């Protein structure tokens, strides 16, 4: 069973800092993690920062995950749910 975590908060609330801390926690040391990072612009600073923690990252840029990419996001989650090489999915949508 894949566990899905949705990380929400306003711009500057500390979502990326929180994720960096969580991804380094001993409790997740053996978990295989997929991180979905969404930003409005072309430059995805969060994905670059969080990529240092050696997790699989899917970037969604140039639009809102909930509005602009709703169908693609749904398809991606369905495909991920079928994968056996993921234990957890962390999703950080646009604020």
pLDDT digits (tens, 9 = 90+) for 54-77: 577 777 767 777 776 677 778 888
**What sign has the CA pseudo-torsion 19, 24, 27, 30?**
positive
The residue ranking higher by pLDDT, 45 or 26, is 26
Check if the beta carbon of residue 2 is closer than 8 Å to that of residue 81: yes
Task: Give the global pTM.
Answer: 0.78
Predicted local confidence at residue 37, as pLDDT: 77
Q: Which of 38, 37, 31 is nearest to 88 (CA)?
A: 31
Domains contained in the chain, CATH given = 3-92 (3.40.50.300)
């Amino acid at each position: 069973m894949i566990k899905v975590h949705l990380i929400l908060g306003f711009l500057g609330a500390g979502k990326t800092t929180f994720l960096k801390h969580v991804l380094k926690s001993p409790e997740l040391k053996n978990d295989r993690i997929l991180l979905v990072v969404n930003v409005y612009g072309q430059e995805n600073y969060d994905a670059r920062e969080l990529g240092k923690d050696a997790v699989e990252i899917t970037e969604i840029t140039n639009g809102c995950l909930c509005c602009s990419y709703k169908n693609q996001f749904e398809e991606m989650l369905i495909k991920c749910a079928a994968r056996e090489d993921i234990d957890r999915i962390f999703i950080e949508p646009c604020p």
